[in-house]
Amino acid sequence: MIFVVTGITFLAALLIVMALAYGFSAAEGATGGRLTQLWNPVALGRPTRLRDRQKERAGQLLSDLGKFLPDAKGKQASRLPRMMIQAGFRRPESVLVFRGVKVLLILVAMGAVYFTGYYRENRLALLFAVAAGFVLPDLWLSRRIRLRKHRLRLSLADALDLLVICVEAGLGLDQAILRVAQELKVVHPELSEELRLVNLEMRVGKTRLDALRSLSSRTGVDDIKSLVAMLVQTDRFGTSVAQSLRVHSDTLRIKRRQRAEEAAAKTPVKMVPVLVFFIFPALLVVILGPAIITLVRQLIPMLNR
């Protein structure tokens, strides 16, 4: 009976995770859309509308679940929205959806512990299940932010080169930012989206400095913060934008090379625990093993006499 309940609980959790993954997955690519249009032009919009409805229902369900958690106070109240923005989730309901995922994981973990009967063997099992359901989404969000910052940091050098070319070709800084966003749409979609947001904010009435400061706070990347500070100083003192961008691009490439050298210098230190705990014992067994066996075979008959 326990195995049946365990299997049902596992299948229910698996179906919930698959439904959420399907609902929040990205829509079809351009190639798939074109092939669908060629195959059946009439039914082109049906899967997209169905997926949008599923996303809305899943988001509404998770938002309702997220309301069960108490609201954070003080600095924690602004920390989670800022982290969601840095992770790439800009919708207003994204915070409630994230909290709803926490509630859902807590319920699934508690249900798995309860229906398997593991809580009878370990009194702290339910507490560990609640802690795991509460902490795992935070770990996932932190990892997503770290990976997104890494991708933004790597794509910034290409964006700066294109920005220098556009400015030196005669475009203004606003038009150059829009052009770079269009060119990087396929290769670096995260940075392209951020630059398009900068252009949209300037269109709706924000000044260039405010839009650039918003870019700095949205991403949280140190290199982008230094770029924004350089552009702000350039606009304030009236210096050449193209020359400042070229100097900053060279400085950024030097920083990237220094980071690569630092990572290469850390490699021997990181290999020491692996060598000591995994490779050296195996070598000792292979090298000294036959000698130890030979000594034992020679010494045991002599001790028995």
Assign residue 219 the CATH number of its domain: 1.20.81
**Overall number of domains in the chain:** 2
Residues 110 and 159 in one domain: no
In a domain, 305, yes or no: no
In a domain, 145, yes or no: no
Contact in structure between 129 and 113 (CB atoms under 8 Å) = yes
Residues 34 and 93 in one domain: yes
Residues 111 and 177 in one domain: no
Q: For the whole prediction, is pTM greater than 0.85?
A: no
Full pLDDT tens readout for the chain, 305 residues: 555 556 666 676 666 666 655 555 444 444 445 544 444 444 444 445 666 676 677 766 767 676 667 666 666 667 888 888 888 888 878 888 888 888 888 888 888 887 777 767 777 777 888 888 888 888 999 999 999 999 998 888 888 889 989 988 888 888 899 999 999 988 889 899 999 999 999 888 888 888 988 898 888 888 889 888 888 888 888 888 888 888 888 888 888 888 889 988 888 888 888 888 888 888 888 888 888 888 888 877 777 66
Residue 18 is part of which domain span?
2-123
How far, CA to CA in Å, does 23 sit from each of 29, 48, 57, 67, 125? 16, 11, 9, 20, 31
In a domain, 231, yes or no: yes
In a domain, 282, yes or no: no
Residues 240 and 162 in one domain: yes
Domain boundary among 257, 277, 295: 257
- In sequence order, the 6+-apart residues with CB closer than 8 A to the CB of 269 are none
**Sign of the torsion angle spanned by Cα atoms 204, 207, 213, 216:** positive
CA torsion angle 83 85 89 94 (round to 10): 70
In a domain, 78, yes or no: yes
In a domain, 299, yes or no: no
Residues 175 and 242 in one domain: yes
Residues 13 and 118 in one domain: yes
Domain boundary among 214, 235, 257: 257
In a domain, 286, yes or no: no
Neighbours of 185 (CB within 10 A): 14
Burial label, 298 (beta-carbon count in 10 A; 0-12, 13-18, 19+): exposed
Q: Give the relative orientation of helices 94-116 and 75-87 as an angle to the nearest 10 degrees.
A: 100
Residues 10 and 112 in one domain: yes
Using alpha carbons, select from 98, 103, 104 the residue that is nearest to residue 86: 98
State the Cα–Cα distance between residues 111 and 236, nearest whole angstrom. 60
In a domain, 304, yes or no: no
Q: How far apart are the first and last CA of the chain?
A: 62
Q: How far is CA 23 from the centre of its chain?
A: 18
